Amino acid sequence: MKYINLDLVDEKILYDKLDNGLDVYIVRKKDFNSNYASFVSKFGGLDIEFIPIGEKDYVKMPSGIAHFLEHKLFEQENDPKVHDFYKQSGTYVNAMTGYKRTKYIISGPKNFKKNLEFLLDFVESPYFTDQNIEKEKGIIIEEAKMCLDDKSRLFYQTVLKNLYNEVPYDKKIIGDIDDIKSMTKEDIYKCYNSFYHPSNMALFVVTNEDENDILELVKNNQSKKEFKKDFNIVRKIYNEDINVRKEYEELLEDVKETRVGYSLKFRLKDFDVTRKELIYYLYIFLGMKLGNLSTFNLSLKEQGLIKNDIGYSVDNLINGTDEFITVHIYSLTDNTNEYIKLLEDNLIDNNYNKEDFELYRKNMISDFNYDFNSVNGIMSFLVGEYSYEDKIDEESIEKVKKLNYDRFIEVMKHFNLNNKSIVVMKNKK
Amino acid sequence: MNYEVINEKNYDIYLYKTDKFKTISISTVFINDYNKDEITKEKFLSEYLINSNNIAKDEVSMSKKYMELYEPSLSINDYFLDKHHKVYTAVFLNEKYTEKGYDKKTIDFYYNIIFNPNVDNGIFNENNFNLIKSKFISWYKLDEEDSRSIAYFNSLANISDDIPLRIDYRGNLEDLMKIKREELNKYYFDKINNSKVSVFVIGNYDDNIIKCIKDNLKTVKRNDYKLNKFFDVTSVKNVKNIVEEKDFNQSIIYLIYKIIGMTDRERTLVLPVLNNILGGDSAKLFNNVREKNSLAYYSYSSFSSVNSILYMYAGISKENYEKASFLMKEQLEEIKNGNIKDEELENAINSLESSVLTCFDSIGSLSNNLKGRVLLDLPSLEYYQNEYKTVTKEEVINLSHKLELDVEYLLKGVK
């Protein structure tokens, strides 16, 4: 057990790794009424090929199984039901599944200690039956239909799908309707037993309660349960290479505005920098090149070439033979070719300045103060920071302070447009 | 939450001091009359003002300014009730977390957004005008792709009484194309000069901040309006049944109810409880439409006490429309028939109390509550916290009998 001091924002985090492998991070905000806990499993939509615990061979699960499992953990053998339990204290409960993780959250001002214990208990006591699996299919099919109507989601899925050859980004987190219909209790238990182990999970808490009391509560709760020793996850390692799956794809949909996604794929080791530093530098780079401080964004709007501000994001993928960092740039334009040409010229013209770099760095630091201004903001910080390297430490914030322009110039020398993928979504008529 | 008031000659400042947050929130509210055909213009103005001003003449300069000031959150929101409320808000880090002198710099910049718009020779800047116009055209097109947004606005537009909730506050393309750049500056300052002005400050402010606010508000004029808090609705003559077909995978149902003759207590306390029992988290709609019958991923209810409206909604498959509609109506009938378990009432009250407690943790919620108290004579957070528990089952049942179905709307996904 130790405290992680975040001097820059005058805050501290209590951290412990329990005997069963669970990472626990607790921030106390005693002036706040609200409490918030996130219980995270490192199991997501991409984890469909693995060797189940106790077996020898790889299995391939239907896509969407992590999300289906997430729904079903809300089912309990005995009363009270999860939703009913939390409703009693007016506590919000929810869960969400991403490509890499599944997160169970509770937040509310009342009854926190019991609520937290119940969170640990319901996530750690699965109860799947043929009947409750069947019941859930209708609900998830409706959710899938809702997702199908979300053009931005469909667009983003295609962007990711076209970047990777082996890693199964071609599968939706929620799965296709046929996948959902094919879910079985046996498969879901296999996934649960293979990934829902404390050593593959983390707990984040923001609370007005004493942080040591909360840690003690978690330890007591976990010590009463038996978990498999020498737990080992064997995910399929994909031989992903630097090439993209598809360089160009046009989607014809019932859309009113044409979306263009321009993505780049990089191998982390080609940059000679840590993952987190690279992500920070890329965000500053994209901000300077495409963000609101760039004349590029403004001039394209003035020319009528794009309809709204250019959007961008940076993502990373670890579970392959190499680690990849991807850059995504989004716009609305009716003239894809001209836009792409101007975009590419802009990205590689090496035109940046130290003054803008420092402005971005300064604001990245002040963002941490905004984060620590609310319970939700602190939770976003904790979960977000942990997602980079499965840890949070003093360096989490100090690293931003240490970013410097000369290093930035060095790192960006490796930036190139060699491995790109373009997706255009336009009106089918 | 006890607040202080400073009554200046032409405006009032309402202050709530707390050191709970690292930020300070200032909202300056301008209240004036409006016509429905001005809604698009007002939305346009808000976007124009926030994107540039006479000091930072384009978006790049404006963004640079924001970043130099440690990225304060600056926003302009328009609320169309019986009057138009234009709310300019700045939430910024206390200078303890930035640099000395930055409170004043930020506040001066914030008021420049309000009083110093980007004009050339008294006319709104052409380049920025055109940029904002393009942005709106694009937004309107994107809205046409959004099934949930279509269902929400198109169902409410059919309410049979002329209440503010019927208004599509996004504006529309037709009115956008009518906006004349040459007229906007005069229009804007006519509105400003005929507005009732109130300022709301939350956070760990000091005398320098108050002085800075006063220095920036020397030119405002005193105007007073009598505010109509609530809109009563009339009894339903004919239920409107509307089916709209669109190229979506999922269908969306809306059932809109008018609430006839609500008392003040019902409006303030009983209606939120009724709504929570019917369509809050894990409530009757969730349990019956989703969990028991697997007909929907989401099924909730919501309400507007100002407009005397409650509505239920759900995303469903089109072939399940009749069954879903029946079940949703049945949940309300259950309440009318008194089928409310004790724990349903207790849970609803607990949920609402928790929401109130959570509001104390958000500088935005504290600011909104203070505005509501001052401008619309709404109760304090403490009042809600203490009074929700006094709502009885009988009161909920009585109120449920005042609900009349006005609109049954289906956005039918035909993909």
CA distances in angstroms from B320 to A135, A148, A162, B250, B316, listed in the order given: 16, 18, 36, 11, 7
Spell out which residues of chain A touch residue B363, defining contact as CB-CB under 8 Å. Answer: 373
Spell out which residues of chain A touch residue B360, defining contact as CB-CB under 8 Å. Answer: 33
Is there a contact between A31 and B343 if contact means CB atoms under 8 Å apart? no
Under 8 Å CB-to-CB from B297, ≥6 apart: which residues?
A: A139, A140, A142, A143, A146, B290, B315
| Residue of A296, A358, A370 for testing the chain B interface, max B β-carbons within 10 Å | A370
Go through A215-236 and write b for each residue having 16 or more CB atoms within 10 A of its CB, e for each that does not.
bebbbebbeeeeeeeebeeebb
Ramachandran category for residue A390: left, alpha or beta (phi over 0 → left; psi -120 to 50 → alpha)? left
The one-letter amino acid at A226: E
- How many beta-carbon pairs below 8 A join chains A and B? 157
Under 8 Å CB-to-CB from B196, ≥6 apart: which residues?
A: B30, B31, B32, B222, B223, B224, B225
Token pair 């329990």 is at which residue?
Answer: A18
Model ipTM? 0.93
Under 8 Å CB-to-CB from B259, ≥6 apart: which residues?
A: B233, B271, B308, B309, B310, B399, B402, B403, B404
Ramachandran category for residue B377: left, alpha or beta (phi over 0 → left; psi -120 to 50 → alpha)? left
Is there a contact between A34 and B138 if contact means CB atoms under 8 Å apart? no
Token pair 């090929």 is at which residue?
Answer: A49
Provide long-range contacts, Cβ within 8 A and 24+ apart, for B342-347: B342/B393, B343/A88, B344/B277, B344/B283, B344/B284, B345/B273, B345/B277, B345/B391, B345/B392, B345/B393, B345/B396, B346/A88, B347/A84, B347/A87, B347/A88, B347/A90, B347/B276, B347/B282
Is there a contact between B145 and A308 if contact means CB atoms under 8 Å apart? no
Active site residue A55: no
Q: How many CA atoms lie within 13 A of A70 on its CB side?
A: 27
Q: How many residues does chain B have?
A: 415
Task: Report the 10 Å Cβ neighbour count for A351.
Answer: 11
Go through B135-159 and write b for each residue having 16 or more CB atoms within 10 A of its CB, e for each that does not.
bbebbbebeebbbbebbbbbbbebb
* d(C-alpha A233, C-alpha A74), whole Å: 24
* d(C-alpha B405, C-alpha B236), whole Å: 7
Is there a contact between A138 and B295 if contact means CB atoms under 8 Å apart? yes
Under 8 Å CB-to-CB from B197, ≥6 apart: which residues?
A: B10, B11, B28, B29, B30, B31, B217, B220, B223
* d(C-alpha A234, C-alpha B18), whole Å: 52
* d(C-alpha B158, C-alpha B236), whole Å: 12
Spell out which residues of chain A touch residue B252, defining contact as CB-CB under 8 Å. Answer: none
Nearest CA in chain B to A332: B138
Spell out which residues of chain A touch residue B353, defining contact as CB-CB under 8 Å. Answer: 90, 110
The pLDDT of residue A319: 64
* Mutual angle of helices B126-143 and B39-51, in 10-degree steps: 120
CA distance B393 to chain A (A): 17
Give the one of A90, A136, A146 whose C-beta lies nearest to B354's C-beta: A90
* d(C-alpha B339, C-alpha B331), whole Å: 9
CA distances in angstroms from B313 to A21, A355, B29, B203, listed in the order given: 44, 51, 33, 38
Give the DSSP letter of residue B165.
G
**A278, A283, A243: which is closest to A264 by C-alpha?**
A243
Under 8 Å CB-to-CB from A165, ≥6 apart: which residues?
A: A240, A241, A243, A244, A245
Token pair 């609200």 is at which residue?
Answer: A34
CA distances in angstroms from A24 to A202, A222, A375, B330, listed in the order given: 6, 12, 17, 45
Q: Could you tell me the pTM of the whole model?
A: 0.95
Spell out which residues of chain B touch residue A293, defining contact as CB-CB under 8 Å. Answer: 60, 63-64, 67
Is there a contact between A146 and B290 if contact means CB atoms under 8 Å apart? no
Q: What is the pLDDT along chain B (415 residues), one digit of tens a residue?
A: 899 999 999 999 999 999 999 999 999 999 999 999 999 999 999 999 999 999 999 999 999 999 999 999 999 999 999 999 999 999 999 999 999 999 999 999 999 999 999 999 999 999 999 999 999 999 999 999 999 999 999 999 999 999 999 999 999 999 999 999 999 999 999 999 999 999 999 999 999 999 999 999 999 999 998 887 889 999 999 999 999 999 999 999 999 999 999 999 999 999 999 999 999 998 999 999 999 999 999 999 999 999 999 999 999 999 999 999 999 999 999 999 999 999 999 999 999 999 999 999 999 999 999 999 999 999 999 999 999 999 999 999 999 999 999 999 999 999 8
The pLDDT of residue A320: 66
* d(C-alpha B108, C-alpha B355), whole Å: 34
Spell out which residues of chain A touch residue B131, defining contact as CB-CB under 8 Å. Answer: 301-302
* d(C-alpha A368, C-alpha A358), whole Å: 16
* d(C-alpha B260, C-alpha B43), whole Å: 32
**A47, A50, A37: which is closest to A68 by C-alpha?**
A47
3-state secondary structure of B132: helix
Give the one of A31, A256, A362 whose C-beta lies nearest to B141's C-beta: A256
**Token representation of residue A377:** 């903001």
Write out the DSSP string of A56-125: SS-EEPPTTHHHHHHHHTT--SSSSPHHHHHHHTT-EEEEEE-SS-EEEEEEESSSHHHHHHHHHHHHTS
* d(C-alpha A387, C-alpha A376), whole Å: 16
**Token representation of residue B342:** 């004790």
* d(C-alpha B255, C-alpha A151), whole Å: 26
Token pair 């530093």 is at which residue?
Answer: A277
Partner residues linked to A288 by β-bridges? none
- Asked if residues A226 and A400 have their Cβ atoms less than 8 Å apart, the reply is no
Is there a contact between B250 and A145 if contact means CB atoms under 8 Å apart? yes
Token pair 């609430």 is at which residue?
Answer: B259
| Residue of B94, B142, B327 for testing the chain A interface, max A β-carbons within 10 Å | B142
- Asked if residues B101 and B209 have their Cβ atoms less than 8 Å apart, the reply is no
**A410, A161, A352: which is closest to A263 by C-alpha?**
A161
Is there a contact between A143 and B346 if contact means CB atoms under 8 Å apart? no
3-state secondary structure of B51: helix
Q: Three-state secondary structure along A326-372?
A: EEEEEEEECCHHHHHHHHHHHHCCCCCCHHHHHHHHHHHHHHHHHHC
Token pair 């201004």 is at which residue?
Answer: A373
* d(C-alpha B36, C-alpha B59), whole Å: 29
3-state secondary structure of B219: coil
Nearest CA in chain A to B414: A149
Is there a contact between A91 and B294 if contact means CB atoms under 8 Å apart? no
- Which backbone phi and psi does B352 adopt, to 5 degrees? -65, -40
Partner residues linked to B7 by β-bridges? B12
* d(C-alpha B12, C-alpha B205), whole Å: 16
Q: Which residues of chain A have pLDDT under 50?
A: none
Among A70, A75, A240, A385, the active-site one is A70
**Token representation of residue A308:** 């709204």
**A7, A34, A65: which is closest to A186 by C-alpha?**
A65
